[in-house]
Structure 1
Amino acid sequence: MKLLLIGAGGREHSLAWKLAKSEKVEKIFVAPGNGGTAFADKCENVDITDINELLAFAKENNIDLTIVGPEDPLTKGIVDLFKAGGLKIFGPDKAGAELEGSKSYSKDFMKKYGVKTAEYEVFYDADKALGYLENCTYPIVIKADGLAAGKGVAICETREEANDSIKSFMIDDIFKGAGAKVVIEEFLDGVEASILSITDGKTIVPFLSAKDHKQIFDGGKGPNTGGMGVLAPNPYVTDEVQKEFEENIMAKTLAGIQAEGYDFKGIIFFGLMITKKGTYLLEYNVRMGDPETQSVLYLMESDLLEVIEAAMNEELAGFEIKWSKGTCVNVVLASGGYPGEFVKGYEIKINEGVKDKVFLAGAKAEDGVLKTNGGRVLSVLGVGDTVEEARVDVYNNIDGVEFEEMYFREDIGLI
């Protein structure tokens, strides 16, 4: 099969690596790809991002299946476009993608279908939002309604912090329109968990759980990032939590997807908060998370293409995904200064012995040389029978990677 994989992050390098392991795959075109996919087995980068140009490319090159990595093309309706053109594509239609594309839409969906989530209010006007903050209990959570690259959530400990966030989101427009509307939400005290899942519109099959580490500094301090590391599986997702998630969140989400009539053959990612009062849904993503994907796919023993084909053919009912029994820790190596200002263009050196556990994200290939090209440069993985063994492995593996101003957290996987 010839595949077209859309995206340019560490998630896409991980997807390409996993898909290339399938005997069914002959060639993977990655659009636009990055420095990792430039050298990956069976892969070729193509410099296209426009969805109409991607459609033309898929037709011209007789692509058997297109797999969409990031959320942006999904919210723009790439699935509807490809299907109208008679092409197979993995991902939700534009209507289903609104579960990620709009925080207010997704919260209203949760409320409508009885999905357990935090109390919330939606605001279109900054003055009304600021007025509402006068009587809130703190901490409070403020979310930009639209897509903000994983950075549109502020946990505000005080009214002053909340006021500043509203001004940044709605008045200063730091997210270029994504914060014109905001959701102000009850703060839930607990532990976060990520559960990636796959659906064919009739069945949802959850993947292994994961625990993301969002803040830039050790101890969960400092500003939010796109994710600085992952532990999979998440030790806080006990059998009891999994059961509650499947009954109160996953099953009700599936009922909502069916009732709304979405054409949804793709990934649905559940961002959870595990509290003393039970397990709540924080948000949906309609694609694989980054950096969760790197850890979860590394532990997947099943052929990923076969899993996707089962979803495309509406054959997920009874489908069993096989997993390794160990633990995977993923540590993100970032450019110094991220998530603020940082310098690009430093050479990246990776020892041969660790290459199979390194997934490139903000990196480009220039004349055969890998160079830094973003804030989150790459992920390094470590595996072991226990969390402690996986932590030792990952931090040993980091010694095999080098670039100037390299920064990473030293506490990923500590619980």
Structure 2
Amino acid sequence: MSFTIGVIVISLLSCAFFLGMEAAYLAANKIHVEIEKKQGGLMATVLTRLTQKPSKFIATMLVGYYLSLVVYAIFSANLITSYFYPQFNHFSELPIENLFLIAACSGLIAVFLAKLLPKIIFQIYSNTLLKVFAVPVYICYILLNYITSFITWISKIISRVFFKINNGELQYAFSKVELGDYISEQMDAVDQDQELDSEIQLFQNALEFSEVKAREVMVPRTEITAVELHESPKGLSKLFTSTGYSKILVYKDTIDDIVGYVHSFDLFKKPKGIKNIMMPVEFVPETMLISDVLEVLTKKHKSIAVVLDEYGGTSGIMTVEDIVEELFGEIEDEHDTVELLEEKLSEEEYRFSARLEVDYINETYRLGLPESEHYETLGGMIVSQLEEIPEKGAVVQFDGFQYTIIEVSTTKIEIIHLKVLDQE
């Protein structure tokens, strides 16, 4: 009896092991595996051989699982028969309805203990468990080699003959998502006081680049410098001198009707009016991806675009420099005069300009502020939460942070005092 119980336990553990390793193999971050393979030693050699033929590895795990399942089914059926039906010598002598009952009972146990539970555990800790059990898996891989090779060969013939599928070997390649997950792990592992490697930050920016929309990069409408179409060249020259900009937008009647832009170099032509030197501007919607905006500007040899909201009004502007900064970080020149306040008062208290972007604050100060597609800036986050512009001195608490409004105008929040609350 003890022998039978021992075989049942071992077969259940074997089922859990084989299915779990299959799940771990599929769920593991391929970049982690590739890095382990470059470390050298026994582990690297084993992982290299296991990942050479992914389909054969999976087939090995399935063969091992079904062999273990057959052993479990036979011995568990005999054990149940001896306990509940001692008048029969073997489960094959039982009536058909009793056999179905035994199969159902043993099947439920196998599904829970040898399938659902191990798959969940092995998927959660896939990277670790794949390394821990690499050697035992490789031993099984060798022992079941001939059976697995034969089954794989038969499956390829059936696929080719009946389904016209000329299936080659699966490639053990990593995806963009896995690369992003790996870089995120590296960023989270860096202490708050340590400076993040520029290469890691560049990779992170590059992965997120294809998902960034125009409204996340643009200079907002309230910060646009523009002139009316009938402004004199002399007045325009003074505006160029005071701002230091090389290009200034031109509008007709209101900022919502931008008709072009003027380059400072064209003032040397001594034009009679702005219309004589005005150049057309490109218009893009808020929801357009900046990768597409960059492509449009490059093809049309433009360096500036006006961002439109859903009603056709001016939402902001963006330049090629703004897009490039999403990849390489802020590029400051002698004419970048807008200085946003960001002051660390203590480990738990900060003073920020409401214009600062939430993702920038999270990357720089590791605060974990809530991010959403409904807002980009710190001020936008608070307005989105309150659904109104708060008064000066107002105190707001949510998501483990306290925000005190230091300065506010009639249209927007200016300065915010942020305090990190105790988060249990």
Taking structure 1 as the reference length, what is the TM-score of the superposition?
A: 0.25
Bigger proportion of residues as helix: 2
Structure index of larger Rg: 2
Taking structure 2 as the reference length, what is the TM-score of the superposition?
A: 0.25
